[in-house]
Amino acid sequence: MTIKLNHTIVHSHDPRASAEFLTSLFGLPAATRFGPFHVVQVDNEVSLDFLSGDGMEIPMQHYAFLVSESEFDEIFGRMQAGGVRYWADPGQKQEGEINHHFGGRGVYFEDPSGHLLEIITRPYGNWPG
């Protein structure tokens, strides 16, 4: 099988601001432009293509990123320094906490358009032992 997710469109109130939020927080190269899109490339050949919602109501989507332990430290440090609100749970009840599911670390936060983002250091289902 050679089927890989290649890109997805992320509707945003302000696609440039949303792309910059993600690239600066994650320490990624600046977004590139492709037509109306602000394209953020991540490391597994997938891009998030931010596009203006043109005033439409933007339904919340969830995007989870697998990061290394050191990347988690860097990203989480930038979140704390930047005053980004975060939660240990997707229901956003446990504010100011992270989780330790699957023997790793995980945390949820919102992008400028209200999409729920997540960074994890272990994929779901990868229970130790």
Residues that bind Fe ion (CB under 5 A): 64, 118
Which neighbouring-strand residues pair with 32? 39
Residue 88 φ/ψ, nearest 5 degrees: -85, -15
Nearest approach, Cβ of residue 46 and Fe ion (Å): 15
Nearest approach, Cβ of residue 63 and Fe ion (Å): 8
Between 13 and 102, CB nearer to Fe ion: 102
Between 26 and 37, CB nearer to Fe ion: 26
Using CB positions, name the residue nearest to Fe ion: 64
Contact 108, 89 (CB under 8 A): yes
Between 16 and 97, CB nearer to Fe ion: 97
Nearest approach, Cβ of residue 62 and Fe ion (Å): 6
Q: What CA–CA distances, in Å, run from 58 to 46, 83, 103, 112?
A: 22, 24, 34, 11
Nearest approach, Cβ of residue 104 and Fe ion (Å): 13
Between 58 and 64, CB nearer to Fe ion: 64
Residues 11, 49: Cα–Cα separation, whole Å: 8
Residue 87 token pair: 């939660």
